[in-house]
Amino acid sequence: MNWKPKLGVLAGCAGVLLNAVATPEGFVPLFNGKDLSGWWGLKTEDPAQWMALPPEKLAEKKAASLADIQAHWRVEDGVLVNDGKGLYLTTEKNYADFELMLDYKTAALGDSGIYLRGIPQVQIWDSTEESKFNLGADKGSGGLWNNPKGTRGKDPLVLADKPFGEWNSLRILMVGEYVTVHLNGQLVVDHARLHNYFNNKKTVPLPIPRSGPIQLQTHGREISWRNLAIREIGGTEANAILAAKAWQDGGPVEKWIGDADNYTFNGGEIQCKKGKGGTVYSEKEYADFAVRFEFKLPPRGNNGLAIRFPGEGNPAYHGMTELQVLDNTAECYAKLDARQYHGSAYGMVAAHRGYLRPVGEWNFQTVEVVGSAIKVELNGTRILDADLSTVTEFKSNSKHPGKDLERGHFGFAGHSDPVVFRNILIKELNHE
């Protein structure tokens, strides 16, 4: 799917005027054209740290930043201008999935960017400045410059900058960790993962936050901004975007066997009957494979994905693993072992938490199993990346005799709750 911004007509449409450009339908302005209401100041700081501050300490931090913001940011004829110094202008509000639009104009030697959920960054260059060609300025603006070398999105697909001194327009779509960028109407980043700059060097990198602020970076040269507006994206639209961008060459499970009487099969949906359980699984066995699906949890919902299940026994122990499907927010699960929460390889490796949609909403998930390695992506964010062959410590010291299985069935391990799955596609992975 070639993503196109959901905009409507810019000229003449209903909305708030920003420098004679109407805010497109569904968007709200981030800047009122008059003052800096709704913004505060931050440097390049790990959101995980300042978001963890007690409310009163965070309020103090925000209030203390405003003097610096007033010293280096100003409004001129409805345009935000920064003198190239000071803290970065930061939205008071945090955003999860969104579509952002803005215009910018930089001075000579300009080097700036836009932090998404507090993570650097969509890069802005003076693309004519040869002294920074070794850093990538010659490739143009719009790339995810802080991504590790060689990763998708780090360099823009095309040089789309306007001649120096003219206004440039950016449109940024962010769903989960994935970012799509259009610069001056040209696609420069196509659904690429934004890596967490603050965790790139850690042994187990952390995903980026589920939500966070928009930040406008300052970097030594004057830069101007206008027509800033944002549209928040709900779960249904986000799932559709992720599904359209995910692999399309799989197919449905041809036949389900096992405890099928404990499940309902209706129009492509599979649901565990309330008060029932057991494992329903594919008749076919798989070695390396990928599966994608949507699921919806009821309050306290508990289920699991049976990975390389041998057809008998407990999938969590006798299969390669059971990947948890769980309402992490339920009070009754507040004190579980970390390796029991959603997306975890049960009892072996904990998944990152905080990326489920609210209970009762559909979630989109993909799983990839290659050899002893498993990757789980939930709503566009990778929450598990584990090699089970390296696991030597287990919950309650309970051994997992099936963890080294090289093939088996795929299925759902019900635990009495009416968890529902749909749009299930699976494919074998051949590594020739």
Q: In this structure, what CATH number is given to the domain that contains residue 22?
A: 2.60.120.560
Residue whose entry in the numeric block shows the structure tokens 């699960």:
333
Q: What is the pLDDT of residue 1?
A: 39
Q: 4-18, 92-106, 241-255: which has the minimum mean pLDDT?
A: 4-18
Mean pLDDT for all residues in the chain: 92
Do both 234 and 281 map to the same domain?
Answer: no
Q: What is the Cα gyration radius of the chain? A: 24
Q: Which residues of 390-404 are buried (b: 16+ CB within 10 A; e: fewer)?
A: ebeebbeeeebebbe
Residues 277 and 393 placed together within one structural domain of the fold: yes
Full residue range of the structural domain in which residue 346 is found: 248-428
Residue 314 has pLDDT above 90, yes or no: yes
Do 120 and 91 share a structural domain? yes
Dist. CA 387–CA 372, nearest whole Å: 5
The answer to the question of residue 59 being in a domain is: yes
Question: Residue 127 has what pLDDT?
Answer: 79
Q: Are 428 and 251 in contact (CB under 8 A)?
A: no
pLDDT over threshold 50, residue 10? no
Instruction: Please check whether residues 227 and 258 belong to one and the same domain.
Output: no
> What is the band of 5 on the pLDDT scale with cuts at 50, 70, 90?
very low
Q: For residues 101 and 228, is the Cβ–Cβ distance under 8 A?
A: yes
Asked which of 241, 274, 291 is the last residue of a domain, the reply is: 241
Boundary residue ending a domain (184, 217, 241): 241
The reply to whether 69 and 166 lie within a common domain is yes
Any domain includes 12: no
- C-alpha 421/C-alpha 65 separation (Å) is 47
Last residue of a domain, one of 241, 267, 289: 241
- Whether residues 315 and 351 fall in one domain: yes
Q: State yes or no: pLDDT of 202 exceeds 80.
A: no
Q: Which of 24-38, 77-91, 184-198, 203-217 has the lowest mean pLDDT?
A: 203-217
- Residue 264 in domain: yes
Number of domains forming the structure of the chain: 2
Domain assignment present for 265: yes
Confidence of residue 164 (pLDDT cuts 50, 70, 90): confident
Residue 5 lies in a domain: no
The reply to whether 83 and 26 lie within a common domain is: yes
Question: Which among 214, 418, 179, 411 has a CA at the least distance from the CA of 318?
Answer: 411
**Is the whole-model pTM more than 0.85?**
yes
Assess if residue 368 is contained within a domain.
Answer: yes
- Read off the pLDDT of residues 146-160 as tens digits, 9 standing for 90 and up: 999 999 999 999 999
Share of the chain above pLDDT 70, in %: 93
